[in-house]
Structure 1
Amino acid sequence: MNPDTTKAVRQISKCTIKPYQVIEESKQPTYLTPWDLSFFNFQYIQKGLLYRKPAPSLEDPTPTITFIHQLKHSLSMTLTHFYPLSGRMVTKKQDNPPFYGIYVDSSNDSVGAEFIHAAVDITMMDILTPIDVPLIVQSFFALDGAICHDGHTEPLLVVQVTELLDGIFVGCTFNHVIGDGTSYWKFFHAFAEITRNLRKAGKHDGSISRLPITKRWFLEENGDPFLINLPFSDHKEFIEDRYERPFLRERMFHFTGESLAKLKAKANEECNTKHVQISSFQALSALLWRSITRIRHFNPDRITSCRLPIDDRLRLNPPLSENYFGNCVQSVSGATTVEDLLAHGNGWAALLLHEAIKEHTDEKIRGVREEWMKKPRISQTRPIFDPANLMMGSSPRFDVYSCDFGLGMAVAARCGFNNKFDGKVTSYRGLTGIGSVLLEVCLPPESMSALESDKEFMDSVSPHEIHVHHLAYV
């Protein structure tokens, strides 16, 4: 059966979920930082987890319906702590003196997050068995194609729970202006924690083990958040034309801890330096960068780059709390010509990435921020979508599989089609032990076929059948 053509996701219900309690902080505007404002042209984050369906019992013959009700209640309690997700964006502008600023208002009782209950007649193995991610996974998420600036009228968070015949997929569509990947998984963990405790005890006070810090941080010592005046008079001056979705194959590649250890050792041997230690992920990124560049067949003098997201929280001095809820992420990149990249080994490419990361210091972060404040700008996505580049997204450091809603460990993590383009790679922690990594690679069909025939790359990848067999018994 091909679940993409014979089955369709059907919506069962949709409702608005508001915070369980209105706390004093939620009555104040959430002013956006330069990190936040940079994401207006980007699409919403779409990520979720697949679980086994709860089995009926004498005590509860309809456990899935019970679970849906519990999720709605726990989402309401979670929004009490993560209240910006229940708001909407507001633009404040005036002509004399000129002012244009955007903030998040969560004080309006008429808005909230959205909750969708959906179903589809396929099994978990219909999702896990194909080599490519089935297209139907894109239907497990809402607001497909929406950009973050749409948060003026669209919900900033949509939770869609999709029933499979034997599983449940919990997916969130999360406005990137509100937070980065670290913030997304902090929210998801809290949502799972409240649901799990609610299922155990039948009731819960909504408390969580790690409270988010929702007050925006603007780099000034003890500085209060403020509304930044942007050099615009209308959103058309900084919002791009909508991105036309290309036809891409999305394939999962699994790398075991043993395979990554070999890549790391070889990269460090090639570097032949005593004072540099290439990490496993840097070695893996270098392998992917060189392999994909090799199969693209660009002119030798074409510039190619590999971009890596960097969490600034712990790079700042003093460091920002890991519980900071907002955006505190930037990307760094290694860049060179196609000819130089392919003339050298993975160690040379990994060293380019290592040096880019090493140079991303507190001083550089603050310097970039100071320059931005002198000349505010909104990031454009087109340079990132250059087909000669590679963009590594998300992080294997995110502990996604421990998000337990009371259904046990997640069977798999998947994401929607938002922010996908030729050369986008989403990384997850692998399921085969500490140190393993799972990559979702997006390429045009002809490029993906060439990558699958690239011996150097495929020699480091574990066979798909072994990975699926492991998932089936998680």
Structure 2
Amino acid sequence: MMSTHYIQKGILYPLPENQDFSITTFLEDLKDSHSATLTHFHPLAARLDTVKQQNPTSFVVFINPDNSPGARFIHSAVNLKVADILTPVDVPLIVQSFFDHNKAIGYDGHGLSLLSVQVTESRMFWKKLVQWIPIRSGEILAIRSVNEDQFIDRPNPPFLKQRIFHFSSDSLLKLKDKVNSECNTTKISTLQSLSALVWRCVTRARRLPLEQETTCRMATENRKRLLPPLPDNYFSNSLHSLRATATAGRLLDCNIGWAAWRLHQAVVNHDDKVIKEFVDSWLKSPFVYTASRFFDASCIDIWGSPRFNIYGNTFGLGKGLAVRSGYANKFDGKVTVYPGREGGGSIDLEICLLPENMEAFESDEEFIGVVVTC
């Protein structure tokens, strides 16, 4: 993950109704909890380091405990209303300024903090945006290379439209029932059904040639699939990107159940054997994950999960109003899944597309039949 951006996630909070609320006291309390958290996740207070080895030439990248200047904590202010952030159809570009380490990639963790917390308050209406931004963390990465520039690739995506789409629990239940009915099964999940819908509608919006192969990738957790499973206190990520492929013509000619079943099979077939075979092949021929290596104009990539308890952290401010993200890791066809604010199985999708495709996508009749709000 040396060439991927820092993860940037933020939650918008309202002003507490308690009139005794003090921003100064709030910030001091947050700093204390930030420090206490780092005692449990102390690697995030350190920096990365690289050691060059010879015969063959390789670079070992690791978290250096001897270089631990700490994580960042930032307090900033902006002259905006909550409506300025939530009302526009497109997520406004100003949101990107609410996140530290803009455009930084993992490798920049040699000099930048691995974790940065930024609290941005709206001076106009005293709203708070609290952000927890962890880097994709790993233990040790060894890469065979002649020089470091060969395994660093800084993403440079084109201008994208970024929008949030809301799906109620009722609309998702109807979609899931329809998909399973078409496949004469009950095994296809809500997320697999929704992913199939987005895959089809984005493909249609892109107007791909019928013979063009298109791919839907879904990030999945490996922890419980391994035998034995990884322990709960395993610090790093363990993820895999599953995929289903089809020509654009086949994907659009068949019903949505056909697409969802292909995604379901990709999930079912991802087991301990597959994971370990991938790790073995990577050890024999290691590479650094880069956006340019894996993404093209015919794929969509789905990350996140409706199971993350995003709205469970109140920080004493009450329930968050909305989730937003920064510039990081955005590309044409990137889809991020969040739980809906009202809970109950509702889902929000953050979707990034080229401007010329977004209008067609959000006007797609199949998509409109499921989405509740845009």
> How many angstroms does 1:169 deviate by?
0.4
What is aligned with 2:22?
63
- Of residues 53, 78, 88 in structure 1, which corresponds to 2:37? 78
CA distance in structure 1 between the aligned counterparts of 2:372 and 2:59, rounded to whole angstroms: 52
> How many angstroms does 1:380 deviate by?
2.4
Q: Check the 8 A contact 1:397/1:429 in 2, yes or no.
A: yes
What is aligned with 2:54?
95
CA distance in structure 1 between the aligned counterparts of 2:260 and 2:94, rounded to whole angstroms: 35
Q: Check the 8 A contact 1:79/1:86 in 2, yes or no.
A: yes
Name the stretch that deviates more: 342-351 or 167-176.
167-176
Q: Secondary structure at the match of 1:382?
A: helix
> How many angstroms does 1:55 deviate by?
5.2
- Of residues 372, 377, 380 in structure 1, which corresponds to 2:290? 380
- Of residues 156, 160, 177 in structure 2, which corresponds to 1:248? 160
Residue type at the aligned position of 2:27? I
Q: Check the 8 A contact 1:53/1:64 in 2, yes or no.
A: no
Deviations 1:245-264 (A, max 9, x none): 32111111111111111111
Q: Check the 8 A contact 1:300/1:338 in 2, yes or no.
A: yes
Residue type at the aligned position of 1:53? L
Relative to structure 1, is the Cα distance of residues 78 and 300 closer, same or farther in structure 2, using a 3 angstrom cutoff?
same
> How many angstroms does 1:101 deviate by?
0.8
CA distance in structure 1 between the aligned counterparts of 2:366 and 2:58, rounded to whole angstroms: 55
Q: Check the 8 A contact 2:244/2:266 in 1, yes or no.
A: yes
Residue type at the aligned position of 1:237? Q
What is aligned with 2:94?
136
Q: Secondary structure at the match of 1:244?
A: coil
Aligned residues: 372
Q: Secondary structure at the match of 1:310?
A: strand
Deviations 1:109-138 (A, max 9, x none): 5x1111111111112222222222121111
CA distance in structure 2 between the aligned counterparts of 1:259 and 1:247, rounded to whole angstroms: 31
CA distance in structure 2 between the aligned counterparts of 1:352 and 1:440, rounded to whole angstroms: 23
Q: How does 1:37-186 map to 2 (within 5 A)?
A: 39-54=1-16, 57=19, 60=20, 63-95=22-54, 98-109=57-68, 111-164=69-122, 165-178=125-138
CA distance in structure 2 between the aligned counterparts of 1:266 and 1:351, rounded to whole angstroms: 12
Deviations 1:358-397 (A, max 9, x none): 1110111111111111222212211433111111111111
CA distance in structure 2 between the aligned counterparts of 1:360 and 1:85, rounded to whole angstroms: 30
Q: Secondary structure at the match of 2:294?
A: coil
> How many angstroms does 1:56 deviate by?
6.6
Unaligned runs of 5+ in 1: 1-38, 179-215, 217-226, 465-474
CA distance in structure 2 between the aligned counterparts of 1:73 and 1:363, rounded to whole angstroms: 44
> How many angstroms does 1:98 deviate by?
4.3
CA distance in structure 2 between the aligned counterparts of 1:55 and 1:270, rounded to whole angstroms: 49
1:237 pairs with 2:153? no
> How many angstroms does 1:79 deviate by?
0.9
Q: Check the 8 A contact 2:115/2:133 in 1, yes or no.
A: yes
Instruction: With the length of structure 2 as denominator, give the TM-score of the two structures.
Output: 0.95
1:265 pairs with 2:225? no
Aligned-pair identity in percent equals: 45
Deviations 1:277-320 (A, max 9, x none): 11111010000000010011111111111110110011111211
CA distance in structure 2 between the aligned counterparts of 1:385 and 1:245, rounded to whole angstroms: 11
Residue type at the aligned position of 1:236? D
CA distance in structure 1 between the aligned counterparts of 2:37 and 2:130, rounded to whole angstroms: 15
CA distance in structure 1 between the aligned counterparts of 2:57 and 2:158, rounded to whole angstroms: 39
Residue type at the aligned position of 2:302? M
Relative to structure 1, is the Cα distance of residues 54 and 376 closer, same or farther in structure 2, using a 3 angstrom cutoff?
same
CA distance in structure 2 between the aligned counterparts of 1:51 and 1:277, rounded to whole angstroms: 37
Unaligned runs of 5+ in 2: none
CA distance in structure 2 between the aligned counterparts of 1:96 and 1:340, rounded to whole angstroms: 50
> How many angstroms does 1:54 deviate by?
3.5
> How many angstroms does 1:348 deviate by?
0.4
Q: Check the 8 A contact 2:210/2:247 in 1, yes or no.
A: yes
Q: Check the 8 A contact 1:54/1:63 in 2, yes or no.
A: no
CA distance in structure 2 between the aligned counterparts of 1:442 and 1:99, rounded to whole angstroms: 36
Deviations 1:134-181 (A, max 9, x none): 211111101111111111111111111100223100113322134xxx
CA distance in structure 2 between the aligned counterparts of 1:151 and 1:108, rounded to whole angstroms: 11
CA distance in structure 2 between the aligned counterparts of 1:385 and 1:371, rounded to whole angstroms: 21
CA distance in structure 1 between the aligned counterparts of 2:147 and 2:223, rounded to whole angstroms: 32
Cα RMSD between the aligned structures? 1.7
What is aligned with 1:35?
none
Q: How does 1:327-338 map to 2 (within 5 A)?
A: 327-338=237-248
CA distance in structure 2 between the aligned counterparts of 1:351 and 1:77, rounded to whole angstroms: 45
Q: How does 1:68-467 map to 2 (within 5 A)?
A: 68-95=27-54, 98-109=57-68, 111-164=69-122, 165-178=125-138, 229-240=142-153, 242-273=154-185, 277-464=187-374
Q: Check the 8 A contact 1:309/1:331 in 2, yes or no.
A: yes
